[in-house]
Amino acid sequence: MLKNKFLFSTLLVVSIFFLGSCDSFLDVNSNPNKPINENLPLEAKLPAALVSTVNQEVGQINQIGAFWGGYWGTNNDGANLYYDLKTYNGPGIRSQRDGIPVWENGYNNILYFKLIEEEASKIGDLFYTGSAKIMQGWLFLRLVDFYNNIPFDQAASGNIHLNPVYESGQEVYKKSINLITDGILDVKASDMIPTMNHGDVLFGGKKDLWAKFGNTIKLRALIRQSEKVDLAYLQSEIASITSEGSGFLGPKEHALVNPGYLNTDGKLNPFWTNYYRDVQGNSTANHQNLRPTLYLVNTLKNLDDPRLSKIYQETNGEINGVIFGNPDAGNPEYARQNTSVLKGPQENNGVATGLLHGIDQGSILMTGFESQFLQAEAAYRGWIAGDVIDYYQNGILSSMDYLKVADTDALVYTETQVRNFEHSGTQLNLLIEQKWLALNSVSSIEAWNDYRRLGLPNFPKTAASGVSGRPLRLMYPETERGTNNAQVELQGSDMITENKIWWML
């Protein structure tokens, strides 16, 4: 009963956050003083901000990554769905009316945490200042990865800076890493204990996990710079992480947000309700029309990867994918009934499987297996201590565990992959391929990020007719052009297939 009461309170705060009027507490153009600031405690604001952030992560951000990172396509019946993503239509994506508000939601979430930080600072509560700083760092890094140059110092400042100045993506990266470092120190110095009423729906008030999470975000940000390494800066940041001493997220230490999901409208896990079943148990439109790409399915088949049958349902005795971009929507091979849906408990005798465990499963911010692959690459490059093979192995096993693969099957597969890795002259390729397979539909955006960074894996671009190039970034949104166009114009050309993010080759 207490869990349900907490869920209701959290979702009530989130609903208030998203009222959308000019007077809303979370409107970046409004005075953030009423009604929320005076009426709700920090232990109610933190979960609302975390839920809002993870909803964006498992929704629009994961979706963009899944299409552009080689995982998803649509069957014939869904040929008209997700047109902008399948055709790399930058103007459509940035549209104020029908676009994908990555910028707007990202900065709203930054504001939520900034207000939490400011209020916590006034009363000297280091747990909330620290966790808010870490989450702001996460969000700023995400925005750079989409847009490159963005406001940082003057961001989310209400009426103080109506036209915030843009800073270079590289500078925002450095400032975000510093912000996370400060956040880790704050959290560790706080007097928070897990049994307190903290509202922490991410780590349950466990300071060590917040510190590991912060360090893992920093490592991801450093790995992102692998092709543009400033060696002195890199060594300094790695030394800082080592000196702090908490380490990184372990293989099973997943960063999952869970306010207490229920099988009730508005209270279901968002991935479940968007890509699987509604409260009545009906298959959703996305479940009926989204499909794995042929490239993904064939890669898993060629490796005899046991995750394939855990994630997807057989059709006509096979697991069948589609071509991203629907070049031949009349081909019956790609019809709904001839292609494979996401597999969940309803297709698995009521047992959790693959990506779909239950309506109350936690929503993913970051996984322990991503942490292992990040450490594997860092060790491969000689940046951190430890055995690259151990990290690589742990990453695969952690992914298998999360996707409900039987231990024996997981061990046989992993041993084969480790042997191949040990004797390969292309270890980085194999490492990124296994990372790509592990992050399928979990943190899909990291696949697009790795491709832009390394060109790996070399999955096909869209097959939609008349489309050239690949997406390199998002265009600044119409909402920003309408309010801060002078700063947008200073950033130069804004084309989606031309301008690179600072860390790209």
Which structure tokens are listed for 149?
Answer: 């140059």
Mean pLDDT of 246-255: 98
Position 437 in a domain:
yes
Q: Is residue 455 part of a domain?
A: yes
Note whether 158 and 28 are within 8 A (CB).
Answer: yes
Q: For residue range 324-371, what is the model confidence (pLDDT) as tens digits?
A: 999 988 999 999 999 999 999 999 999 999 999 999 999 999 999 999
pLDDT digits (tens, 9 = 90+) for 64-93: 999 999 999 999 999 999 999 999 999 999
**Residue 117 burial class via C-beta count within 10 angstroms: exposed 0-12, middle 13-18, buried 19 and up:** buried
pLDDT, position 505: 87
Percent of the chain at pLDDT above 70? 92
Instruction: Give the CATH number for residue 237.
Output: 1.25.40.390
pLDDT, one tens digit per residue, over 187-218 is: 999 999 999 999 999 999 999 999 999 999 99
262 is a domain residue: no
Average pLDDT over residues 423-450: 98
pLDDT at 431 over 90: yes
Query: Could you please report the per-residue DSSP string of 400-460?
Result: HHHTT--HHHHHHHHHHHHHHHHT-S-HHHHHHHHHHHHTTTTSTHHHHHHHHHH--S---
Q: Is residue 82 part of a domain?
A: yes
480 within 8 A of 150, measured Cβ to Cβ: no
Q: Per the domain annotation, does 351 fall within a domain?
A: no
Give residue 33's pLDDT: 32
Task: Summarize pLDDT for 463-500 with one digit per residue, the tens.
Answer: 999 999 999 999 999 999 999 999 999 999 999 999 99
The answer as to whether 310 is a domain residue is no
pLDDT for residue 26: 32
Q: pLDDT tens, 107-163?
A: 999 999 999 999 999 999 999 999 999 999 999 999 999 999 999 999 988 889 999
**Domain limits for position 14:** 2-250+380-490
Binned at pLDDT 50, 70 and 90, residue 447 comes out as very high
Query: Is 256 a member of any domain?
Result: no
Please report the pLDDT score of residue 368 as a whole number.
98
354 part of a folded domain: no
Q: Give pLDDT, residue 37.
A: 54
pLDDT tier at 38, thresholds 50, 70, 90: low
Helix or strand (DSSP H, E) at 15: helix 2-17
pLDDT in tens, 299-324: 999 999 999 999 999 999 999 999 99
Percentage of residues in the chain with pLDDT exceeding 90? 89
| Number of domains the chain is built from | 1
Task: Give the pLDDT mean for 158-179.
Answer: 95
Give the dihedral of Cα atoms 99, 81, 347, 317; nearest 10 deg: -140
Mean residue pLDDT across the chain: 93
